Chains A and B, each alone.
Chain A
Amino acid sequence: MGIISRAFQGRPRDHDEKLPPGQYLVHDFPVLSAGPTPRVPLDRWEFAIDTAEGEVHRWSWQEFLALPQETPTVDLHCVTKWSKFGTEWRGVSLDVLMEDVESAAEYALAYSYGGYTTNLPLEDLLDGKAWIVYEYDGEELAPAHGGPARLLVPHLYLWKSAKWIKGIRLLNEDWPGFWETAGYHNYGDPWREQRYQGD
Chain B
Amino acid sequence: MIKRLTWRVATVTEIRQETPTARTLVLDVPGWPGHLPGQHVDVKLTADDGYSAQRSYSVANGVDGERVELTVQQVGDGEVSPYLTEVLAAGDQIELRGPVGGWFVWRPHSSPPVLLIGGGSGIVPLMAMIRSRGKSDTPFRLLYSLRDPGQLFYARELEKVTAGVEVAYLYTRTAPPDAGRAAGRIRAADLVAYGWPPETAPDVFVCGPTGFVEATADLLIDLGHDPAKIKTERFGPTGG
Minimum CB distance partner of A30 in chain B? B236
Instruction: Map CB proximity to B onto A161-199 as digits: 1 under 8 Å, 0 otherwise.
Output: 000000000000000001101110000000000011111
**Are B83 and A3 within 8 A (Cβ)?**
no
Segment at the interface with A among B90-98, B107-115, B123-131, B142-150: B90-98
Total interface residues in chain B, CB < 8 Å: 51
Please tell me if B237 contacts chain A, counting CB pairs below 8 Å.
yes
Instruction: Map CB proximity to A onto B72-108 as digits: 1 under 8 Å, 0 otherwise.
Output: 0000000100010001100011110000111110000
Alpha-carbon separation in the docked complex, A31 to B234 (Å): 7
- B32 → A minimal CB distance (Å): 16
Among all A-B residue pairs, the 3 with the closest Cβ atoms: A30-B236, A198-B4, A36-B217
- A111 → B minimal CB distance (Å): 14
Alpha-carbon separation in the docked complex, A3 to B88 (Å): 14
Please tell me if A42 contacts chain B, counting CB pairs below 8 Å.
no
Residues of A within 8 A of B236 (CB): 26, 28-31
Instruction: Map CB proximity to A onto B35-57 as digits: 1 under 8 Å, 0 otherwise.
Output: 00000001011111111111110
Alpha-carbon separation in the docked complex, A11 to B55 (Å): 14
25 contacts across the A-B interface (CB closer than 8 A): A1-B52, A4-B46, A4-B47, A5-B45, A5-B83, A8-B83, A10-B51, A10-B79, A13-B51, A22-B52, A28-B236, A28-B238, A29-B236, A30-B235, A34-B103, A35-B217, A36-B232, A37-B218, A115-B228, A179-B103, A181-B102, A182-B102, A196-B4, A197-B2, A197-B4
Please tell me if A7 contacts chain B, counting CB pairs below 8 Å.
yes
Residues of B within 8 A of A1 (CB): 46, 50, 52
Given contacts A30-B236, A36-B230, contact A144 B210 (CB under 8 A): yes
Alpha-carbon separation in the docked complex, A128 to B219 (Å): 40
* Chief secondary structure at chain B's binding surface: mixed
Instruction: Map CB proximity to A onto B199-240 as digits: 1 under 8 Å, 0 otherwise.
Output: 000000000001000100110110000011011101111110
Please tell me if B163 contacts chain A, counting CB pairs below 8 Å.
no
Minimum CB distance partner of A9 in chain B? B47
Residues of B within 8 A of A10 (CB): 45, 47, 51-53, 79
**Are A183 and B101 within 8 A (Cβ)?**
yes
Minimum CB distance partner of B49 in chain A? A13
Residues of A within 8 A of B3 (CB): 198
**Interface bracket on A:** 35 or more
Residues of A within 8 A of B51 (CB): 10, 13
Please tell me if A129 contacts chain B, counting CB pairs below 8 Å.
no
Please tell me if A62 contacts chain B, counting CB pairs below 8 Å.
no
**Are B103 and A182 within 8 A (Cβ)?**
yes
**Are A198 and B2 within 8 A (Cβ)?**
yes
Residues of A within 8 A of B238 (CB): 26, 28, 30, 82
Alpha-carbon separation in the docked complex, A196 to B41 (Å): 11
Alpha-carbon separation in the docked complex, A159 to B166 (Å): 35
Tell me which of B7, B46, B102, B239 contacts A5 (CB under 8 A).
B46
Residues of B within 8 A of A196 (CB): 4-5, 100
Alpha-carbon separation in the docked complex, A34 to B54 (Å): 22
Tell me which of A2, A6, A29 contacts B95 (CB under 8 A).
A2
Alpha-carbon separation in the docked complex, A31 to B230 (Å): 17
